[in-house]
């Protein structure tokens, strides 16, 4: 059984994001980049399935600039067997990424696609659903538990009312939530081994996909600074402020 795991290179979650002075986007110059945390969970889950003997090959995929190779090497250090980079300098939007992944699904024929439910840079939460629609595959989003059988996969997901379990026939698409697992610490020996693993590079045109942006970003700005809070003496004063200053009642 083959598993495809898309991973995205994003600004590290520990870095304070800053907006460019011309408000055209986020400043990523000289900023630490890393694998999207939800995608790291997806790689860990795929590797665990392989360690259980349920999966034979884990393929990591990334779409973007040449530096995404570092992200793919991290995925292979976690345990992915090989990697594919769809290299382009064009700003990729969720639909374009989904089309690229659809082309790779057609080429590689994986039985399972596991990816993060969203990326922490744009928080779109769209790529997995779009891929499932384009490839006409069953999907389960926000997975907190995955149990793989011979010809189906049971996915437990957290919903407002508790837990929901879905049974999907393979091949299928799964997006991961935070509580699915805790990714392992990547050791130096595994990082060195990852450098010797196969990493193929293709272009969007090789896959026959047009990745031209369909949406235009007009302006990016930082959120307004919050004012300091105040203490009130009693309920009457609170109601007065909510009514006359905050104007929420």
* Residue 150: inside a domain: yes
Task: Dump the DSSP string for 230-244.
Answer: ---SSHHHHHHHHHH
227, pLDDT greater than 90:
no
Q: How many domains does the chain have?
A: 1
Q: How far apart are CA 94 and CA 51, in angstroms?
A: 31
Structure tokens that stand for 223 in this block? 């959120």
Which among 179, 108, 103, 123 has a CA at the least distance from the CA of 11? 123
Backbone angles phi, psi at 149, to 5 degrees: -115, -170
Q: What is the mean pLDDT of residues 25-41?
A: 91
* Residue 55: inside a domain: yes
At 248, the pLDDT band (50, 70, 90 cuts) reads confident
Helix (H, G, I), strand (E, B) or coil at 40: helix
At 58, the pLDDT band (50, 70, 90 cuts) reads very high
* Residue 155: inside a domain: yes
27, pLDDT greater than 90:
no
Contact 170, 151 (CB under 8 A): yes
Structure tokens that stand for 199 in this block? 């990493």
* Residue 231: inside a domain: yes
Alpha carbon 142 to chain centroid distance? 11
Average pLDDT along the chain: 92
Helix (H, G, I), strand (E, B) or coil at 226: coil
Backbone angles phi, psi at 235, to 5 degrees: -65, -35
Alpha carbon 224 to chain centroid distance? 28
* Residue 69: inside a domain: yes
176: containing domain? 2-244
197, pLDDT greater than 90:
yes
At 57, the pLDDT band (50, 70, 90 cuts) reads very high
Contact 83, 199 (CB under 8 A): yes
Q: Which helix (H) or strand (E) holds 37?
A: helix 37-51
The structure's pTM equals 0.85
Condensed to tens digits (0 to 9), the pLDDT of residues 111-142 reads 999 999 999 988 999 999 999 999 999 999 99
CATH of the domain at 34: 3.40.50.620
Condensed to tens digits (0 to 9), the pLDDT of residues 152-189 reads 999 999 888 889 999 999 999 999 999 999 999 999 99
pLDDT of residue 249: 84
Identify any residues that bridge with 64 across adjacent strands, giving them in sequence order: 87
230, pLDDT greater than 90:
no
The H-assigned helical ranges of 109-234 are 127-135, 188-194
Condensed to tens digits (0 to 9), the pLDDT of residues 70-107 reads 999 999 999 999 999 999 999 999 999 999 999 999 99
pLDDT of residue 209: 92
Q: What percent of the chain has pLDDT over 70?
A: 100
* Residue 158: inside a domain: yes
Of 226 and 117, more confident: 117
Structure tokens that stand for 3 in this block? 């598993």
* Residue 160: inside a domain: yes
* Residue 83: inside a domain: yes
pLDDT of residue 195: 92
């Amino acid at each position: 059984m083959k598993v495809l795991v898309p991973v995205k290179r994003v600004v590290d979650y520990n870095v304070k994001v800053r907006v460019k002075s011309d408000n055209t986007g986020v400043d990523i110059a000289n900023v630490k980049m890393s694998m999207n945390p939800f995608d790291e969970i997806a790689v860990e889950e795929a590797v665990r399935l392989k360690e259980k003997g349920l999966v034979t090959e884990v393929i990591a995929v990334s779409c973007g600039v040449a530096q995404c190779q570092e992200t793919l090497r991290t995925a292979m250090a976690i345990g992915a067997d090989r990697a594919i980079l769809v290299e382009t300098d064009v700003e990729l939007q969720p639909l374009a990424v989904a089309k690229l992944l659809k082309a790779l699904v057609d080429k590689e024929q994986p039985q399972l696609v596991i990816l993060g439910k969203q990326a922490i840079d744009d928080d779109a939460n769209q790529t997995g659903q779009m891929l499932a629609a384009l490839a006409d595959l069953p999907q389960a989003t926000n997975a907190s538990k995955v149990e793989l059988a011979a010809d189906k996969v049971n996915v437990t997901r957290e919903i407002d009312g508790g837990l929901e379990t879905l049974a999907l026939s393979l091949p299928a698409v799964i997006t991961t939530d935070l509580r699915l697992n805790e990714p392992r610490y990547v050791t130096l020996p595994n990082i060195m081994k990852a450098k010797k693993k196969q990493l193929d590079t293709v272009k969007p045109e090789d896959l026959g996909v047009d990745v031209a942006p369909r949406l235009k970003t007009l302006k990016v700005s930082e959120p307004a600074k919050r004012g300091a809070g105040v203490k009130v003496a009693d309920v009457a004063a609170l109601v007065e402020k909510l009514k006359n200053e905050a104007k929420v009642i």
